[in-house]
Structure 1
Amino acid sequence: MATESSYTIAPLSPETWPAFDALVQRHNGIFGGCWCIYFHPDCAERGQSYEGNRALKKRLVETGQAHAALVMDGDEAIAWAEYGTPAGLPNIHHRKQYDATKTSDPDYRITCVFVDKRHRRQGVTELAITGALDQIAQAGGGRVESYPHDLTNQTKKMSSSFLYNGTRRLYERLGFTYDRPKGLKNCVMVKTVDIA
């Protein structure tokens, strides 16, 4: 299991872009060249190509519209947890069901967590999410939602490469509470984060 003393957390920014860029490139752009832009607002550049997605993500980082906690091993990024406001990250899976069952919007949502394949199943996902929660606290805190995979009733093990947002059990360990199902194998988890 990873320990907080083994790694550092850094915000995704123009200064940390090279480390983020290297991590994504080591994994062929993540999920077919997504570059972790799926959850951002629709625009003409989104989904056009690997390089188009990369350029869009870089622009979003440079203009302060993309937020993530990077887990750093020295100068190398080995994981991230993407977070933002619902306006900044409006696209979520099972959106129709989500909208039909919500009572209010969260202040922030954590939409994607990715770990370098060399560091999976070592507790790094938890560090990335904790880093995102710390950055949210520094930004003012509030109600945070995330949409992990709910494997509580599943007997078959799921590959960690498909767990793009962690598991319900992980979020429960981090103090989130179960709110409702979302889609077949996902759920809505919530936590109130105090201002730092």
Structure 2
Amino acid sequence: MAGDPSYAIAALSPETWPAFDALVQRHNGIFGGCWCIWFHPDGPERGQGAEANRALKRRYVDEGTAHAALVMAGDEAIAWAEFGTPAELPNLHHRKQYDQTKTRDPDYRITCVFVDKRYRRQGLSEVAIRGALDLIARSGGGRVESYPHDLTEQTKKMSSSFLYNGTRRMYERLGFTYDRSKGLKNCVMVTTVAPAQTAGAGATR
């Protein structure tokens, strides 16, 4: 499914907001109405409910400080991968351990991946992440981190509802390398994305 030409990648923007908005609305605001704002800086809307979270996300999109690769099936968004600079996405789980063990900040982070429930188990998380890497390449590339669950030694299957950023194995398939652990059963994965040479070029990993 990762190579299916019927899917296109679109950047989250004021123009694609209606498609993103519809996807989140179909899933009741995502993770209890968070609207994928947890990793963003705090704003006055935070903690005021799903509609306030929606307004905060919309404001970040309008300001150009919220980025994501949307997987599009026609005019409908069916998956996304959120990415941004550390300034745009400063909040992380297990932040104290992360700061104590880091040697440098990344240029970009991929912090959340979500797939429409109608399209799961079809490889669309990887399609979304590749889309994010392509958009990062077009923005100049650099060091990219992501923070998936590390289930390499776990035999019990974990519910996909908890895998908000995928798994270590998935990122390894995408060319990321393991950097270090982060919290319980989470890790830091890294890759370097080369700048795109032309508008149509993809990421080099």
TM-score by length of 2: 0.94
Q: Which residue of 1 aligns with 2:67?
A: 67
- The question of whether the paired residues in 1 share the 8 Å contact of 2:78 and 2:116 is answered with yes
Task: Indicate the RMSD between aligned Cα atoms, in angstroms.
Answer: 0.8
Q: Which residue of 1 aligns with 2:129?
A: 129
1:48, distance to aligned residue in structure 2 (A)? 1.3
**Residue 165 of structure 2 aligns to which amino acid in structure 1?**
N
* Secondary structure of 1:47 counterpart: coil
Q: CA deviation at 1:46?
A: 1.6
What is aligned with 1:10?
10
Matched residue type, 2:126: E
What residue is the counterpart of 2:103 in the other structure? 103
Question: Aligned to 1:22, what secondary structure does the other structure show?
Answer: helix
Identity percentage of aligned residues: 82
Measure how far apart 1:44 and its partner are: 1.5
Query: In structure 1, how many angstroms separate the alpha carbons of the residues matched to 2:45 and 2:106?
Result: 27
Does the residue aligned with 2:111 lie in a helix, a strand or coil?
strand
Q: Which residue number in structure 2 is paired with residue 56 of structure 1? A: 56
2:168/2:189 contact within 8 Å kept:
yes
> Which sections of structure 2, spanning at least 5 residues, go unmatched?
197-205
**Matched position secondary structure for 1:170:** helix
> Conserved in 2, the CA contact under 8 Å of 1:4 and 1:127?
no
Is residue 44 of structure 2 the alignment partner of residue 44 of structure 1?
yes
State the alpha-carbon separation in 2 of the partners of residues 162 and 19 from structure 1: 24
Q: CA deviation at 1:2?
A: 4.0
How much has 1:159 moved relative to structure 2? Answer: 1.4
* CA distance in structure 2 between the partners assigned to 1:131 and 1:165 by the alignment: 15
Cα distance, 1:161 vs. partner? 1.8
Residue of structure 2 in register with 1:148 after alignment: 148
The 2-side partners of 1:108 and 1:4 are apart by: 27
Q: What is the 5 A alignment of 1:164-179? A: 164-179=164-179
Please say if residues 43 and 56 of structure 2, whose CA atoms lie closer than 8 Å, have aligned partners that are also in contact.
no
Instruction: Say how many residue pairs are matched.
Output: 196
